[in-house]
Amino acid sequence: MSDNPFKRPASRAGIRDPRNATFISSLKDIEAGRHRKKQLSAHTSILRLEDLEEIEELPADEPLGQAPQPTTVASKMMAFFGPKGGMGTTTLAVNVAGTLAKLTRNAVIVDMDLQLGSVPVSLNVKPERSIAELVVEATNAGSGPIQSGLDRHPSGLTMVAQGDRIEELSTVTSDRLPRFFDALGQSFPYIVIDGLRDFSDHAVGVMDIAHLVVLVVTQDVPAVRAAARSLRLFRRLGYGPDRLKIVVNRFHKKAPVTLEAIGNALGQPVHAVVRNDFPLVEEALNCGVMISELKASGGLARDIEALARSLGGLQADAGGGRSLLGRLFRRK
Protein backbone atom coordinates (compact mmCIF):
# COMPACT_ATOMS: atom_id res chain seq x y z
CA MET A 1 0.00 0.00 0.00
CA SER A 2 1.11 3.53 -0.73
CA ASP A 3 2.16 5.70 2.21
CA ASN A 4 0.21 8.62 0.83
CA PRO A 5 -3.56 8.04 1.28
CA PHE A 6 -4.35 10.82 -1.20
CA LYS A 7 -2.27 9.39 -4.00
CA ARG A 8 -4.41 8.21 -6.88
CA PRO A 9 -3.77 4.69 -8.15
CA ALA A 10 -1.75 4.54 -11.31
CA SER A 11 -4.22 2.39 -13.16
CA ARG A 12 -7.99 1.91 -13.02
CA ALA A 13 -7.69 -1.74 -13.75
CA GLY A 14 -6.90 -2.76 -10.21
CA ILE A 15 -9.85 -0.92 -8.65
CA ARG A 16 -12.92 -2.26 -10.34
CA ASP A 17 -14.19 -3.93 -13.43
CA PRO A 18 -13.88 -1.21 -16.05
CA ARG A 19 -17.03 -2.47 -17.84
CA ASN A 20 -19.13 -1.49 -14.84
CA ALA A 21 -17.33 1.72 -14.08
CA THR A 22 -18.71 4.97 -15.46
CA PHE A 23 -16.30 7.77 -16.04
CA ILE A 24 -18.02 10.96 -17.02
CA SER A 25 -15.82 12.96 -19.27
CA SER A 26 -18.18 15.12 -21.31
CA LEU A 27 -21.65 16.67 -21.32
CA LYS A 28 -22.76 13.97 -23.75
CA ASP A 29 -21.89 11.30 -21.20
CA ILE A 30 -24.03 13.05 -18.61
CA GLU A 31 -26.97 13.22 -21.00
CA ALA A 32 -26.55 9.58 -21.95
CA GLY A 33 -26.47 8.75 -18.24
CA ARG A 34 -29.72 10.60 -17.69
CA HIS A 35 -31.30 8.74 -20.55
CA ARG A 36 -30.17 5.41 -19.09
CA LYS A 37 -31.67 6.40 -15.74
CA LYS A 38 -35.01 7.16 -17.39
CA GLN A 39 -35.02 3.79 -19.12
CA LEU A 40 -34.19 2.10 -15.84
CA SER A 41 -37.01 3.66 -13.87
CA ALA A 42 -39.46 2.85 -16.63
CA HIS A 43 -38.66 -0.84 -16.45
CA THR A 44 -37.76 -1.53 -12.85
CA SER A 45 -40.11 -0.97 -9.99
CA ILE A 46 -38.21 0.14 -6.91
CA LEU A 47 -41.43 -0.33 -5.00
CA ARG A 48 -41.57 -4.04 -5.75
CA LEU A 49 -45.18 -4.18 -6.70
CA GLU A 50 -45.21 -7.94 -6.38
CA ASP A 51 -44.87 -7.37 -2.63
CA LEU A 52 -48.42 -6.09 -2.61
CA GLU A 53 -49.71 -9.37 -3.94
CA GLU A 54 -47.91 -11.15 -1.14
CA ILE A 55 -49.95 -9.32 1.46
CA GLU A 56 -52.27 -11.94 2.76
CA GLU A 57 -55.72 -10.74 1.77
CA LEU A 58 -58.17 -10.33 4.55
CA PRO A 59 -60.76 -13.09 4.19
CA ALA A 60 -64.15 -11.48 3.65
CA ASP A 61 -65.87 -14.20 5.68
CA GLU A 62 -63.58 -13.92 8.71
CA PRO A 63 -65.91 -13.44 11.66
CA LEU A 64 -65.78 -9.91 13.00
CA GLY A 65 -65.34 -9.23 16.67
CA GLN A 66 -68.00 -7.11 18.31
CA ALA A 67 -67.18 -3.45 18.74
CA PRO A 68 -69.39 -1.60 21.19
CA GLN A 69 -71.83 0.88 19.67
CA PRO A 70 -70.53 4.45 19.98
CA THR A 71 -73.40 5.71 22.09
CA THR A 72 -71.49 7.62 24.78
CA VAL A 73 -70.87 10.75 22.73
CA ALA A 74 -73.74 12.51 21.01
CA SER A 75 -71.61 14.43 18.51
CA LYS A 76 -69.77 13.02 15.49
CA MET A 77 -66.44 11.75 16.67
CA MET A 78 -63.79 10.66 14.18
CA ALA A 79 -60.43 9.18 15.10
CA PHE A 80 -57.54 9.41 12.61
CA PHE A 81 -55.21 6.43 12.81
CA GLY A 82 -51.75 6.28 11.27
CA PRO A 83 -50.66 2.64 10.88
CA LYS A 84 -47.14 3.92 10.10
CA GLY A 85 -45.35 7.17 10.84
CA GLY A 86 -45.14 10.10 8.48
CA MET A 87 -48.14 9.36 6.26
CA GLY A 88 -49.74 12.72 6.86
CA THR A 89 -52.23 11.63 9.53
CA THR A 90 -51.83 14.82 11.57
CA THR A 91 -52.00 16.99 8.44
CA LEU A 92 -55.32 15.39 7.48
CA ALA A 93 -56.75 15.41 11.02
CA VAL A 94 -55.90 19.09 11.55
CA ASN A 95 -57.20 20.22 8.17
CA VAL A 96 -60.38 18.12 8.28
CA ALA A 97 -61.06 19.55 11.75
CA GLY A 98 -60.32 23.07 10.48
CA THR A 99 -62.73 22.57 7.58
CA LEU A 100 -65.46 21.29 9.92
CA ALA A 101 -64.87 24.32 12.15
CA LYS A 102 -65.21 26.59 9.11
CA LEU A 103 -68.37 24.87 7.89
CA THR A 104 -70.13 24.42 11.23
CA ARG A 105 -68.34 26.88 13.57
CA ASN A 106 -68.16 24.12 16.16
CA ALA A 107 -65.38 21.57 15.95
CA VAL A 108 -62.59 20.51 18.27
CA ILE A 109 -59.39 18.58 17.62
CA VAL A 110 -58.03 16.42 20.42
CA ASP A 111 -54.39 15.29 20.33
CA MET A 112 -54.34 11.88 21.99
CA ASP A 113 -50.58 11.51 21.58
CA LEU A 114 -50.18 12.62 25.18
CA GLN A 115 -46.41 12.74 25.24
CA LEU A 116 -45.24 13.86 21.82
CA GLY A 117 -48.38 15.13 20.13
CA SER A 118 -47.77 17.34 17.12
CA VAL A 119 -51.14 19.08 16.75
CA PRO A 120 -50.05 22.16 18.79
CA VAL A 121 -46.92 22.58 16.67
CA SER A 122 -48.85 22.09 13.43
CA LEU A 123 -51.28 24.82 14.51
CA ASN A 124 -48.64 26.90 16.25
CA VAL A 125 -50.82 27.14 19.36
CA LYS A 126 -49.33 26.53 22.81
CA PRO A 127 -51.86 24.60 24.90
CA GLU A 128 -52.83 26.55 28.02
CA ARG A 129 -55.16 23.83 29.31
CA SER A 130 -53.96 20.23 29.34
CA ILE A 131 -55.98 17.10 28.58
CA ALA A 132 -55.24 15.85 32.11
CA GLU A 133 -56.72 19.00 33.61
CA LEU A 134 -59.82 18.72 31.43
CA VAL A 135 -60.26 15.01 32.17
CA VAL A 136 -60.37 15.82 35.90
CA GLU A 137 -62.75 18.74 35.25
CA ALA A 138 -65.08 16.50 33.21
CA THR A 139 -65.07 13.86 35.97
CA ASN A 140 -65.93 16.49 38.58
CA ALA A 141 -68.64 17.99 36.36
CA GLY A 142 -70.79 14.87 36.81
CA SER A 143 -72.75 14.67 33.59
CA GLY A 144 -72.27 18.29 32.49
CA PRO A 145 -70.11 19.90 29.79
CA ILE A 146 -66.59 21.25 30.21
CA GLN A 147 -67.18 24.90 31.12
CA SER A 148 -63.86 26.66 31.06
CA GLY A 149 -62.21 28.30 28.08
CA LEU A 150 -60.39 26.00 25.72
CA ASP A 151 -57.46 26.80 23.42
CA ARG A 152 -58.37 28.17 20.01
CA HIS A 153 -56.64 28.51 16.68
CA PRO A 154 -57.28 31.81 14.81
CA SER A 155 -59.24 29.83 12.18
CA GLY A 156 -61.91 29.11 14.82
CA LEU A 157 -60.89 25.51 15.49
CA THR A 158 -60.73 24.56 19.19
CA MET A 159 -57.74 22.47 20.25
CA VAL A 160 -57.23 20.16 23.22
CA ALA A 161 -53.75 18.75 23.84
CA GLN A 162 -51.53 17.76 26.73
CA GLY A 163 -48.57 19.95 25.83
CA ASP A 164 -45.43 19.50 27.91
CA ARG A 165 -47.13 18.68 31.21
CA ILE A 166 -46.30 14.98 31.22
CA GLU A 167 -46.12 14.93 35.03
CA GLU A 168 -49.96 15.02 35.05
CA LEU A 169 -50.45 11.98 32.84
CA SER A 170 -51.37 9.51 35.59
CA THR A 171 -54.78 11.22 35.87
CA VAL A 172 -55.65 10.34 32.26
CA THR A 173 -56.97 6.83 32.75
CA SER A 174 -58.94 4.82 30.18
CA ASP A 175 -62.04 4.65 32.41
CA ARG A 176 -62.24 8.47 32.54
CA LEU A 177 -62.02 9.01 28.79
CA PRO A 178 -65.71 8.30 27.89
CA ARG A 179 -66.84 11.00 30.37
CA PHE A 180 -64.23 13.41 28.99
CA PHE A 181 -65.42 12.95 25.40
CA ASP A 182 -69.04 13.08 26.52
CA ALA A 183 -68.36 16.44 28.20
CA LEU A 184 -66.62 17.76 25.05
CA GLY A 185 -69.42 16.40 22.87
CA GLN A 186 -71.96 18.51 24.75
CA SER A 187 -70.28 21.64 23.37
CA PHE A 188 -68.93 20.43 20.01
CA PRO A 189 -70.92 18.55 17.37
CA TYR A 190 -67.64 17.47 15.72
CA ILE A 191 -64.71 15.91 17.55
CA VAL A 192 -61.61 15.00 15.54
CA ILE A 193 -58.89 12.90 17.18
CA ASP A 194 -55.26 12.68 16.18
CA GLY A 195 -52.30 10.87 17.71
CA LEU A 196 -53.57 7.27 17.75
CA ARG A 197 -51.06 4.80 16.38
CA ASP A 198 -51.41 1.60 18.41
CA PHE A 199 -53.87 -0.72 20.11
CA SER A 200 -53.18 0.24 23.72
CA ASP A 201 -56.06 0.43 26.22
CA HIS A 202 -56.20 4.20 25.76
CA ALA A 203 -56.29 4.01 21.98
CA VAL A 204 -58.89 1.22 21.76
CA GLY A 205 -60.95 2.95 24.46
CA VAL A 206 -61.06 6.11 22.35
CA MET A 207 -61.72 4.31 19.06
CA ASP A 208 -64.56 2.36 20.67
CA ILE A 209 -66.44 5.56 21.41
CA ALA A 210 -65.60 7.16 18.06
CA HIS A 211 -68.20 6.94 15.32
CA LEU A 212 -65.55 6.58 12.64
CA VAL A 213 -61.94 5.48 12.46
CA VAL A 214 -60.04 6.96 9.52
CA LEU A 215 -57.11 4.81 8.46
CA VAL A 216 -54.57 6.88 6.54
CA VAL A 217 -52.38 5.17 3.96
CA THR A 218 -49.99 6.29 1.23
CA GLN A 219 -49.22 4.67 -2.11
CA ASP A 220 -46.17 2.65 -1.15
CA VAL A 221 -45.69 -0.97 -0.23
CA PRO A 222 -44.52 -0.49 3.41
CA ALA A 223 -47.53 1.76 4.07
CA VAL A 224 -50.00 -0.74 2.59
CA ARG A 225 -48.36 -3.57 4.52
CA ALA A 226 -48.63 -1.59 7.76
CA ALA A 227 -52.27 -0.74 6.98
CA ALA A 228 -53.05 -4.42 6.31
CA ARG A 229 -51.58 -5.41 9.68
CA SER A 230 -53.65 -2.78 11.46
CA LEU A 231 -56.78 -3.70 9.54
CA ARG A 232 -56.47 -7.31 10.59
CA LEU A 233 -56.49 -6.16 14.23
CA PHE A 234 -59.35 -3.74 13.58
CA ARG A 235 -61.41 -6.56 12.10
CA ARG A 236 -60.77 -8.69 15.16
CA LEU A 237 -61.93 -5.78 17.30
CA GLY A 238 -65.12 -5.61 15.26
CA TYR A 239 -64.54 -2.59 13.02
CA GLY A 240 -66.16 -3.20 9.64
CA PRO A 241 -66.31 -0.87 6.62
CA ASP A 242 -69.23 1.03 8.17
CA ARG A 243 -67.02 2.12 11.05
CA LEU A 244 -63.59 2.28 9.42
CA LYS A 245 -62.74 4.33 6.32
CA ILE A 246 -59.55 4.12 4.27
CA VAL A 247 -58.14 7.42 3.04
CA VAL A 248 -55.18 7.62 0.66
CA ASN A 249 -53.03 10.66 1.33
CA ARG A 250 -50.45 12.17 -1.03
CA PHE A 251 -52.38 10.59 -3.89
CA HIS A 252 -50.78 10.54 -7.30
CA LYS A 253 -52.69 9.20 -10.28
CA LYS A 254 -49.63 7.65 -11.90
CA ALA A 255 -48.19 6.03 -8.77
CA PRO A 256 -47.44 2.32 -9.33
CA VAL A 257 -49.48 1.34 -6.26
CA THR A 258 -53.00 2.02 -7.53
CA LEU A 259 -56.19 2.61 -5.55
CA GLU A 260 -57.50 -0.69 -6.85
CA ALA A 261 -54.40 -2.54 -5.59
CA ILE A 262 -54.77 -0.89 -2.19
CA GLY A 263 -58.48 -1.75 -2.05
CA ASN A 264 -57.73 -5.37 -2.98
CA ALA A 265 -54.91 -5.72 -0.48
CA LEU A 266 -56.98 -4.23 2.32
CA GLY A 267 -60.22 -5.99 1.41
CA GLN A 268 -62.18 -2.76 1.43
CA PRO A 269 -62.40 0.06 -1.13
CA VAL A 270 -60.65 3.38 -0.64
CA HIS A 271 -63.13 5.93 0.75
CA ALA A 272 -61.36 9.12 -0.36
CA VAL A 273 -58.08 10.47 -1.66
CA VAL A 274 -56.17 13.64 -0.86
CA ARG A 275 -53.69 14.74 -3.48
CA ASN A 276 -49.97 15.28 -3.02
CA ASP A 277 -48.88 18.91 -2.76
CA PHE A 278 -45.78 19.13 -0.63
CA PRO A 279 -44.97 22.86 -1.08
CA LEU A 280 -48.48 23.89 -0.04
CA VAL A 281 -48.62 21.56 2.99
CA GLU A 282 -45.16 22.69 4.04
CA GLU A 283 -46.11 26.37 3.77
CA ALA A 284 -49.28 25.80 5.82
CA LEU A 285 -47.22 24.00 8.50
CA ASN A 286 -44.54 26.68 8.54
CA CYS A 287 -47.14 29.42 8.97
CA GLY A 288 -49.35 27.44 11.40
CA VAL A 289 -52.42 27.92 9.21
CA MET A 290 -55.00 25.72 7.51
CA ILE A 291 -54.36 24.71 3.90
CA SER A 292 -57.68 26.35 2.93
CA GLU A 293 -56.50 29.65 4.46
CA LEU A 294 -53.57 29.64 2.05
CA LYS A 295 -55.30 28.42 -1.09
CA ALA A 296 -59.04 28.01 -0.60
CA SER A 297 -59.85 27.15 -4.19
CA GLY A 298 -56.89 24.81 -4.78
CA GLY A 299 -57.24 21.10 -5.45
CA LEU A 300 -55.80 20.07 -2.09
CA ALA A 301 -58.27 22.25 -0.13
CA ARG A 302 -61.10 20.83 -2.27
CA ASP A 303 -60.05 17.24 -1.53
CA ILE A 304 -59.90 18.01 2.18
CA GLU A 305 -63.29 19.70 2.13
CA ALA A 306 -64.85 16.73 0.32
CA LEU A 307 -63.29 14.41 2.89
CA ALA A 308 -64.50 16.54 5.82
CA ARG A 309 -68.02 16.66 4.39
CA SER A 310 -68.21 12.92 3.77
CA LEU A 311 -66.80 12.00 7.20
CA GLY A 312 -68.96 14.58 8.94
CA GLY A 313 -72.12 13.56 7.07
CA LEU A 314 -72.48 17.05 5.61
CA GLN A 315 -73.92 17.56 2.18
CA ALA A 316 -71.45 18.12 -0.64
CA ASP A 317 -71.42 21.77 -1.71
CA ALA A 318 -72.73 22.77 -5.13
CA GLY A 319 -69.32 22.28 -6.75
CA GLY A 320 -68.57 19.36 -4.44
CA GLY A 321 -68.58 16.81 -7.23
CA ARG A 322 -65.11 18.05 -8.04
CA SER A 323 -63.34 15.99 -5.39
CA LEU A 324 -60.52 13.96 -6.83
CA LEU A 325 -61.90 10.52 -5.99
CA GLY A 326 -65.32 11.51 -7.33
CA ARG A 327 -63.82 12.62 -10.60
CA LEU A 328 -61.59 9.55 -10.88
CA PHE A 329 -64.50 7.17 -10.50
CA ARG A 330 -66.79 9.18 -12.74
CA ARG A 331 -64.29 9.01 -15.58
CA LYS A 332 -64.30 5.18 -15.56
Ligand X SMILES: Nc1ncnc2c1ncn2[C@@H]1O[C@H](COP(=O)(O)OP(=O)(O)OP(=O)(O)O)[C@@H](O)[C@H]1O
Q: How far is residue 259 from each of residues 244, 264, 265, measured CA to CA in Å? A: 17, 9, 10
Tell me which stretch binds ligand X (CB under 6 A): 102-110, 129-137, 139-147, 279-287. Answer: 279-287
- Burial degree of 273 (CB within 10 A; 0-12, 13-18, 19+): buried
186 CB-near residues (< 8 Å, 6+ apart): 74, 144, 145, 146
Number of residues written out for the chain: 332
Rounded Cα–Cα distance for residues 193 and 204 (Å): 13
CB under 5 to 8 A by kind: which of Mg ion, ligand X, none does 182 bind?
none
Q: Which of 29, 192, 188, 59 is nearest to 119 (CA)?
A: 192
Nearer to ligand X, 88 or 127 (CB): 88
Site for Mg ion in 89-148 (CB under 5 A): 89-90, 118
Site for ligand X in 26-65 (CB under 6 A): none
CB under 5 to 8 A by kind: which of ligand X, Mg ion, none does 86 bind?
ligand X
- As measured in angstroms, the least distance from the Cβ of 305 to ligand X is 14
The type of residue at 172 is V
Nearer to ligand X, 75 or 234 (CB): 234
Tell me which stretch binds Mg ion (CB under 5 A): 34-42, 88-96, 142-150, 263-271. Answer: 88-96
- As measured in angstroms, the least distance from the Cβ of 188 to ligand X is 22
The type of residue at 268 is Q
Is residue 286 at the binding interface for ligand X, with CB under 6 A as the rule?
no
Chain centroid to CA 242: how far? 19
- As measured in angstroms, the least distance from the Cβ of 324 to ligand X is 11
Site for ligand X in 78-97 (CB under 6 A): 82, 85-91
In this structure, is the dihedral angle defined by the CA atoms of residues 164, 168, 174 and 178, taken in order, positive or negative?
negative
Is residue 211 at the binding interface for ligand X, with CB under 6 A as the rule?
no
145 CB-near residues (< 8 Å, 6+ apart): 183, 184, 186, 187
E strand or H helix at 131, and its extent? helix 131-140
Nearer to ligand X, 176 or 295 (CB): 295
Site for ligand X in 216-275 (CB under 6 A): 249-250, 274
Is residue 276 at the binding interface for ligand X, with CB under 6 A as the rule?
yes
Is residue 133 at the binding interface for ligand X, with CB under 6 A as the rule?
no
Binding site for ligand X (CB under 6 A): 82, 85-91, 118, 249-250, 274, 276-278, 281-282, 285
Binding site for Mg ion (CB under 5 A): 89-90, 118
